Amino acid sequence: MKNPTSDAGTFSNKVDFRDKNRHLQNQGGTVTSRHDKLENYFFTGYPYKRGVKLVVDTVQNNQPHYEPHVEVGGEDDIYGICTDIDEFTNTATVIPITNNFQGYLIAKESSGIKRKDKLKFGTNGELEKNDSSNGKINAMALSDVIELDTEKKLCIVNVAIYGNKGKPS
């Protein structure tokens, strides 16, 4: 029997118990820039692949105070997009809405989204067509809506977001 530490040609990979500093991570097919800042927050609900809002609880006497967290949101309260969640640590990875982003996000059921449609985030964090003339465009559809499950009514759409800027109202 050959010894893997002395016969390195036989076994090219070390088989000892040291950490090899490898980190594997999949962000669910999202494309971001190296300049974008990914932030981690605690989450409530299930914000995966949806628009989120940042919630900061106010301090009250004799009440527990929780640090800032994210939950499903949209419209004028949108803070960013949840691209990944870790259910063990209850942490969500969020890309702020002012950054560039491309990937698949949850779309509103029976929204009829087609390629090149202008989209916005609804109050429940799902993408829907922007039919109003308020000028708030959060995303552009790169594909038609894809229906994944008819029973649970789950739809996704490939979108591109190019650095939305906050506008004073």
Residue 135 is assigned to a structural domain of this protein:
yes
The rounded distance, in Å, linking the Cα atoms of 9 and 14 is 11
Report which DSSP code applies to 31.
B
* CA 56, chain centre distance (Å): 20
Determine, yes or no, domain membership for 103. Answer: yes
Q: What's the domain range around 116?
A: 39-162
Number of structural domains (the chain) is 1
Asked if 126 contacts 56 with a C-beta cutoff of 8 angstroms, the reply is no
CATH number for the domain including 62? Answer: 2.40.300
pLDDT recorded at residue 2: 54
Answer whether residue 13 is part of any domain: no
Q: Tell me what pLDDT residue 24 has.
A: 42
78 assigned to some structural domain: yes
Residue 153: predicted pLDDT: 80
Q: What is the pLDDT of residue 13?
A: 56
83 three-class SS: strand
What pLDDT score was predicted for residue 168? Answer: 47
In a domain? residue 4: no
Tell me whether residue 8 is in a domain.
no
In the chain (169 residues long), the average pLDDT of successive 10-residue segments reads 55 54 50 76 91 86 79 88 90 89 88 88 89 73 86 86 62
Residue 169 confidence (pLDDT): 46
DSSP letters of 87-155? TTTTEEEEEETTSEEEEEEEE-TT----TT-EEEE-TTS-EEE--SSS----EEESS--EEEETTTTEE
Q: Is 20 among the domain residues?
A: no
Extract the tokens encoding 79.
């803070």
> What pLDDT sits at residue 17?
56
Is 12 within a domain? no
Three-class SS state of 25? coil
